[in-house]
Structure formats: C-alpha cells, structure tokens
Structure 1
Amino acid sequence: MENSSKFTLFDGLIWGGAGLSLLGLVGLMWCVVIVWRARRAQLPDEDMRAVMARVLPLNLGALFVSVIGLMLVIVGIFLN
C-alpha cells in the first residue's frame, strides 16, 4: 500500500511553483504601486517616463517569474 501523506518531488514542484507564482504576483503588484504613486505625484512627462523606464524591467521580470511558477505547477500536476 502506498502512503498518500508522503511528500514527493512532484509535490515540491507544485508548491515551489505556487510560491514562485505568488512571488511574481507580489512583484507585479509592487510595480503597480510604484506607477500609481508616480501618477498621484503628477510628475512631469520626462520624470514619468523615467519612472516607467525603471519599472518596465521589474514588471517583465515579475511576469516571467510568475509564468515559470505556473509552468512548474502544471508540470508537477502532470507528472504526479
């Protein structure tokens, strides 16, 4: 008989992927907060563009981390 409470590698993939997705979601929300604060400050166009240029790589990185996490969850589910 197999013990169903045993933690497997695939469970680790699922939970690790969920953690990565959550980390990516937090990063995306942080980018939203940065841009929202800049908009509320009513910065001039040049300064707003500078804020957006700084946030764009962070936004893409957070999106990438989130996608990788979701892919790990899917792989863990399929292999389990």
Structure 2
Amino acid sequence: MQAVIWAGAALTVAGLAGLVYCIMRATRAKRSGLDDAAMRAELQRVVTINLAAVGLSALGLAAVVAGILLG
C-alpha cells in the first residue's frame, strides 16, 4: 500500500502544480490587456485546465486516503 500512497501524493503534487500554472496564466492574461472577447476565451481555457488540475489533485488525495486505510 506504500506505492498507492506515494502515487497518490505524486498525483496531488501534479494537481497543485496545475493550479499554480492556472494562477500564473490568468495573471499573465490580466496583465496583457486583452480585449473582452480574447480575455473571455483565455479564461475559459484556464477554467478547463483548472478543473482538470482540481480533479487530479482530488484523485491523488483519494488514493492517499485509500492507501492509508488499506495499509
């Protein structure tokens, strides 16, 4: 079960890295002074990546909890 815990921790860290990437990308878009339509399109892409990162992080945390409970 040790491998499940470490794999879950790696997934969680990858999800957190994705969240940091989303923050940086949204900040960069805000500073670039895009017009309304371009800003909306960019933020829609960021939201998609953000949801994937949160899902990956949640999956990793679930794996850690499962590994702890089963181990």
Counterpart of 1:67 in structure 2 is: 58
Residue-by-residue CA offset, 1:3-53 (whole Å, 9 max, x unaligned): xxxxxxx10010000000000000111011100000111211111101011
> What TM-score comes out, normalization by structure 2 length?
0.95
Task: Say which of 49, 57, 65 aligns to 1:58.
Answer: 49
Q: Residues 1-80 of structure 1 correspond to what in structure 2 (within 5 A)?
A: 10-80=1-71
CA distance in 1, matches of 2:2, 2:23: 32
Q: Once the two structures are aligned, what percentage of the paired residues are identical? A: 42
Question: CA offset at residue 57 of structure 1?
Answer: 1.1
Higher relative contact order (CA closer than 8 Å, sequence separation 6+)? 2
The structure with more helix, counted as a fraction of residues: 2
CA distance in 2, matches of 1:54, 1:73: 29
Q: Which runs of 4+ in 1 moved over 4 A?
A: none
CA distance in 1, matches of 2:2, 2:55: 22
> What TM-score comes out, normalization by structure 1 length?
0.85
Query: What 5-or-longer segments of structure 1 have no aligned partner?
Result: 1-9
Query: What 5-or-longer segments of structure 2 have no aligned partner?
Result: none
